[in-house]
Amino acid sequence: MTEIPQASTTLWCERAVLPTGAVERVLLEVAGGRLVAVQQVDRAPAGAERLGGWTVPGFVDTHVHGGGGHDYATLDAAEATAARDFHRRHGTTSSLASLVTAELDTLVAQIRALSPLVRRGELAGLHLEGPFLSPARKGAHTEVLLRPPTEEAVDRLLEAADGTLAMVTIAPELPGALDAIGRLARAGVVVAVGHTDGDQTDVRRALDAGASVATHLFNAMRPIHQREPGPVPVLLDDERVMVELIADGFHLHPDVVRMAVAAAGLDRVALVTDAMVATGMPDGGYTLGGLAVAVRRGEARLVGPDGEPGSIAGSTLTMATGFAFLVGTGMSIPGASWLAASTPARRHGLDGVGVLEPGGYADLCVVDGSGRLQRVMQRGSWVPDVEEPR
> In this structure, which amino acid lies at residue 364?
L
Q: State the Cα torsion 304-129-113-284 to the nearest 10°.
A: 30
Put the strands of the sheet holding 284-288 in their side by side order. 284-288, 291-296, 299-303, 309-312
Counting beta carbons within 10 angstroms of the beta carbon of residue 382, is it exposed (0 to 12), middle (13 to 18) or buried (19 or more)? middle
The answer to whether 244 contacts Zn ion (rule: CB under 5 A) is no
**Segment contacting Zn ion by CB under 5 A, of 119-127, 269-277, 334-342, 362-370:** 269-277
318: Cα within 13 Å, side-chain hemisphere: 27
Residue nearest to Zn ion (CB): 274
162-221: which residues touch Zn ion (CB under 5 A)? none
| Distance in Å, CB of 11 to Zn ion, minimum | 34
| Distance in Å, CB of 25 to Zn ion, minimum | 40
Q: Is residue 274 annotated as a catalytic residue, yes or no?
A: yes
Letters for 39-68 (x = contact with Zn ion by CB under 5 A, - = none) are ------------------------------
Size of interface with Zn ion, in residues (CB under 5 A): 2
Residue closest to 275 by CA, chosen among 109, 59, 116: 59
Alpha carbon 106 to its chain's center: 23
Alpha carbon 244 to its chain's center: 8
Strand duo 291-296 + 299-303: pairing? antiparallel
- In the bound state with Zn ion, the residue whose beta carbon lies nearer, of 210 and 314, is 314
What single-letter DSSP state applies at residue 250?
A: S
Phi, psi of 77 (to 5 degrees): -60, -30
Letters for 82-121 (x = contact with Zn ion by CB under 5 A, - = none) are ----------------------------------------
The answer to whether 274 contacts Zn ion (rule: CB under 5 A) is yes
- In the bound state with Zn ion, the residue whose beta carbon lies nearer, of 68 and 380, is 68
| Distance in Å, CB of 252 to Zn ion, minimum | 14
| Distance in Å, CB of 140 to Zn ion, minimum | 8
**Segment contacting Zn ion by CB under 5 A, of 158-166, 206-214, 245-253, 268-276:** 268-276
The answer to whether 129 contacts Zn ion (rule: CB under 5 A) is yes
User: Residues interacting with Zn ion, by CB under 5 A?
Assistant: 129, 274
Which residues belong to the active site?
274
